[in-house]
Amino acid sequence: MARRIGVFGGSFNPIHIGHLVIAEAAWQEFALEHVLFIPTADTPNKTMHHIDKYMRYHMVELAIADNPHFVISPIELERKGPSYTVDTIRLLQEEAPADTEFYFIAGTDAVADLPTWKYNRELLASCHFICASRPGDVEKVRRSVRYFGALGRQKIHFLRTPELEISSTILRGLIRADRSVRYLIPEPVIRYIREKQLYKGAW
C-alpha cells in the first residue's frame, strides 16, 4: 500500500487552532502517515506583515511539538525566490520513496482558486488535494472540480471540519486591539508572540 503524506503549506501568520484541527482531521480521515507543515517563505500572493519567515517557522514548531504525527519542513525557507506549490511538491517527490502519495491540505478559497495557480494541471496530476470546507462553501469547490473534469473528480477530496470562524487576519486584529486570543492560538505560540512583541507595538 502506498504511503500517504499530508502536506499543509501556508503562511501560518500566526498558526492557530483552526490549522491544527484541520490537520488532525485530515490525518485521521485520509489515513495519512503524518502531516508535513511547510511554512511559506516568499509567497507570490500575499505580504507577510513584516514578520520574519524564521519567526513564523518557529511558531509552527511550538504549535505542533506535542503531536507525534505532525512534522515541520524548512523546504520553502531554504529555497530562493517566490514559493509555488508545484515546485514544493516536485522537491518532495524527488526525496520520497516512489510509492509515496502526497495529499495537499488547503482551505476552500485556495481550492476554489486552483484554476488560476501556476502549472495547476501538472500539480493536480502529481498530488491529491484535501479541501477543508464548510457546508456553505461546497459549491465554490465543486466549480473548481468541474473545471478540471475527470482529474478534478479523482484528485480533489472534501474534508468536513468543525465550523471554526478563525483566521490569522482576525487574530492579528485581536492582538493589535489588546484582545484575548486564548484558546484560539496554542499557548506556547501566544507566549512567543508576547515575548517578541509581534503584530503590534506592545501587548
**Following DSSP, what letter does each residue of 98-163 receive, concatenated?**
TTEEEEEEEEHHHHHTGGGSTTHHHHHHHSEEEEEE-GGGHHHHHHHHHHHTHHHHHHEEEEE---
CA distance 111 to 113: 5
Helix axis angle for 17-29 and 53-64, nearest 10°, is 60
Flag whether the pTM goes above 0.85: yes
What element of type H or E holds 89?
Answer: helix 85-95
Domain boundaries, the chain: 3-167
Q: Which three cell numbers stand for residue 22?
A: 484541520
pLDDT tens column, 142-159: 999 999 999 999 999 999
What parts of the chain have a pLDDT lower than 50? 202-203
The answer to whether the CB of 118 falls within 8 A of the CB of 142 is no
What element of type H or E holds 199?
Answer: none
For residue 156, the tally of other CB atoms under 10 A from its CB is 20
pLDDT tens column, 56-87: 999 999 999 999 999 999 999 888 777 688 98
Write down the CATH number for the domain with range 3-167: 3.40.50.620
